[in-house]
Amino acid sequence: MKFFIDTANLDQIKEAEDLGVLDGVTTNPSLMAKEGITGEENILNHYKKICEIVEGDVSAEVIATDYEGMVKQGEELAALNPQIVVKLPLIEDGIKACKYFTDKGIKTNVTLVFSVGQALLAAKAGATYVSPFLGRLDDISTDGMNLIEEIRTVYDNYGFKTQILAASVRNTMHIVNCAKLGSDVMTGPLSAIKGLLKHPLTDIGLAKFLADYAKGNA
Ligand code: E4P
């Protein structure tokens, strides 16, 4: 299972990279705005900085919602670095643009996916990644994890190569449950990734080992 971090914060990306478990980064326009990155040139430069920190795939989202605009922006983004994955919304023109980039051998991440049917379309268009937003489904009292499970079943039925990128992951149990269901990738905040470290018995056990060592070597 690949671990992506879902942020545009360079310090957090660096911290996750230093942990040695990071496989890539996802961003979106909201995450860019949160870091105060505005204006086309600054945004493109920020993507370049992210690519310098990590070795894996970096999803960069188009703002255009029409086919021509998405193709133009996606090509600009893809030209920045071979690590860039063009992130496209699951709308009609987004699916067409996905097929365009697939045919050109450029990686894509089809985002804002909330149903199995949408995920099926993304796979048919050859998406590299499909991003079901499980946290946002949980937010409206709908089982986000169920969507991951159903997409897994459908993709396995037909051997689709599109990787399931569980997105809108908010906590450690989201990560663990995605892993149980066979999600190929998860993207979440640093807090959720680091939350996996925590277990009180680890802390108690380590304290005892160190105390016993200290007694024996006093
Ligand atoms: C996915 O790529 C999105 O950037 C992200 O996971 C959305 O998460 P949120 O629902 O916590 O905003």
Reduce the secondary structure of the chain to three states and give it as a string.
CEEEEECCCHHHHHHHHHHCCCCEEECCHHHHHHCCCCCHHHHHHHHHHHHHHCCCEEEEECCCCCHHHHHHHHHHHHHHCCCEEEEEECCHHHHHHHHHHHHCCCCEEEEEECCHHHHHHHHHCCCCEEEEEHHHHHHCCCCHHHHHHHHHHHHHHHCCCCEEEEECCCCHHHHHHHHHHCCCEEEECHHHHHHCCCCHHHHHHHHHHHHHHHHHCC
Enumerate the β-bridge partners of residue 186. 3, 166
pLDDT in tens for each of the 218 residues of the chain? 999 999 999 999 999 999 999 999 999 999 999 999 999 999 999 999 999 999 999 999 999 999 999 999 999 999 999 999 999 999 999 999 999 999 999 999 999 999 999 999 999 999 999 999 999 999 999 999 999 999 999 999 999 999 999 999 999 999 999 999 999 999 999 999 999 999 999 999 999 999 999 999 98
pLDDT value, residue 218:
85
Global pTM?
0.96
- Residue 50 Cβ contacting ligand 1 at under 6 Å: no
Question: Is the torsion defined by CA of 145, 148, 151, 156 positive or negative?
Answer: negative
pLDDT value, residue 155:
98
- Residue 28 Cβ contacting ligand 1 at under 6 Å: yes
- Residue 168 Cβ contacting ligand 1 at under 6 Å: yes
The phi, psi pair for 215, rounded to 5°, reads -65, -45
| Cα angle 192-58-13, degrees, rounded to a multiple of 5 | 45
pLDDT value, residue 192:
98
Q: In the structure encoding, which two tokens stand for residue 38, read together?
A: 């505005």
87 as an active site residue: the answer is: yes
Ligand 1 mean position, distance from CA 171 (Å) = 12
Ligand 1 mean position, distance from CA 168 (Å) = 4
Selecting among 34, 87, 198, 215, the annotated active-site residue is 87
pLDDT value, residue 48:
97
Q: Which residues contact 35 (CB under 8 A, 6 or more apart)?
A: 8, 9, 46
- Residue 6 Cβ contacting ligand 1 at under 6 Å: yes
